[in-house]
């Protein structure tokens, strides 16, 4: 396992002991395969960040903990690493803890492990459930500032939230839906990945509020708990379409859009309007192919930059500032796509 990094540096990146890293690197055995994978990931992360670690200044080790489909986690990683040079003269080193789904207890264990081993900050995308809120409290008690990303935990001890105004995003989706559907008949399918993510709940509330005010005659059909994953989303969408032959449009709050479109196609149904969130690699392709009507997007690089600044301020490395403003909501169509969309 060739690499140019000292064992101490790899151990810090991986959150493991130097002895464990030494056993993995020298093939001495007695180490689980999952631990060996953590060491390999740490080396890969260090290699990607090698150009940034040469920057002179204070170093912050920050943990990025995200529950989301791989396409979104990949975009988060890319956004942070693209922002690292702009954080000069400080150096931000990052450890990534990504998972697509699973019980809240797994994420709580991850957060508690970080609290025990130490960190300069945690950037967190997690469901808004009491056990996660309690784990954030334990991080705060350990002197580790937590910033929530994209979806908030307002009852926790987090120091700030970065992301868009999700209720306004849902209202924007309803406005676009009304304009494009006009007086044509048809029901609208709203799709959430989970009812436990506050950002999705707020988007759904904003959407329903505006639709109720402006198109009260139109029925909204909700599905949830597909986790934004194509494998689970397809069956939920297909079942909804079979139950309701009047569904003509989709507001995708939580993703799984490839599967949603496949379910429409497999039943020979047309989707007149399809509004989604985030220019991840799936939605970028679908928008270019004109299979989505619009994507509501916000600048993840701005979010990650602001999250790092909040961590630095918590440690007194930057002067105090007012509350972070929500990220601007961008309405992206096939005709105004960014030159370098998030990947």
Helix (H) or strand (E) holding 261: helix 257-266
- Give me the average pLDDT of each 10-residue run along the chain (343 residues): 79 91 88 91 82 60 94 93 86 91 92 96 96 97 97 95 97 97 96 92 97 95 92 95 98 95 98 96 95 96 95 87 89 89 42
Separation CA 135–CA 102 (nearest Å)? 16
Query: Alpha carbon of 214 to those of 10, 271, 275, 317, 333: distances in Å?
Result: 57, 21, 18, 48, 23
Give pLDDT, residue 2.
60
pTM for the model = 0.81
Give pLDDT, residue 29.
81
Separation CA 76–CA 242 (nearest Å)? 36
Give pLDDT, residue 57.
61
Q: Rounded to an integer, what is the distance from CA 58 to the centroid of its chain?
A: 27
Give pLDDT, residue 46.
85
Decide if 277 contacts 203 (C-beta within 8 A).
yes
Buried b (16+ CB within 10 A) or exposed e, 179-213: eebeeeeeebbbbbbbebbbbbbbbbebbbebbee
> What 3-state class would DSSP assign to 146?
strand
């Amino acid at each position: 396992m060739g690499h140019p990094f000292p064992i101490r540096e790899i151990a810090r990146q991986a959150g493991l002991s130097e002895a464990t890293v030494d056993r993995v690197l020298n093939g001495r055995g007695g180490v689980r395969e999952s631990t060996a994978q953590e060491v390999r990931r740490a080396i890969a992360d260090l290699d990607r960040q090698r150009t940034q670690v040469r920057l002179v200044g204070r170093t912050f080790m920050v943990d990025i903990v995200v529950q989301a489909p791989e396409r979104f986690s990949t975009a988060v990683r890319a956004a942070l690493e693209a922002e690292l040079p702009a954080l000069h003269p400080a150096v931000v080193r990052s450890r990534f803890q990504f998972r697509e789904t699973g019980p809240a207890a797994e994420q709580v264990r991850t957060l508690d492990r970080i609290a025990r081993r130490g960190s300069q900050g945690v950037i967190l995308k997690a469901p808004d459930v009491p056990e996660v809120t309690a784990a954030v409290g334990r991080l705060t008690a350990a002197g580790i500032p937590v910033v929530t990303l994209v979806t908030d935990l307002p009852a926790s001890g987090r120091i700030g939230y970065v992301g868009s105004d999700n209720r306004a995003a849902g209202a924007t989706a309803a406005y676009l839906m009304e304009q494009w559907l006009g007086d044509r008949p048809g029901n609208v399918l709203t799709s959430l990945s989970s009812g436990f993510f506050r950002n999705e709940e707020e988007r759904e509330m904003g959407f329903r509020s505006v639709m109720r005010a402006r198109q009260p005659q139109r029925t909204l059909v909700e599905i949830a708990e597909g986790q934004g994953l194509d494998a689970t989303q397809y069956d939920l969408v297909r079942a909804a379409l079979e139950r309701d032959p009047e569904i003509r449009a989709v507001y995708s709050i939580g993703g799984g859009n490839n599967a949603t479109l496949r379910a429409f196609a497999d039943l020979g149904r047309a989707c007149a309007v399809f509004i989604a969130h985030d220019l991840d690699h799936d939605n970028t392709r679908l928008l270019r192919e004109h299979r989505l009507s619009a994507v509501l997007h916000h600048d993840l690089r701005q979010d990650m930059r602001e999250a790092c600044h909040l961590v630095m301020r918590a440690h007194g490395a930057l002067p105090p500032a007012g509350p972070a403003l929500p990220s601007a909501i961008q309405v992206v169509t096939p005709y105004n796509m960014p030159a370098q969309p998030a990947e």
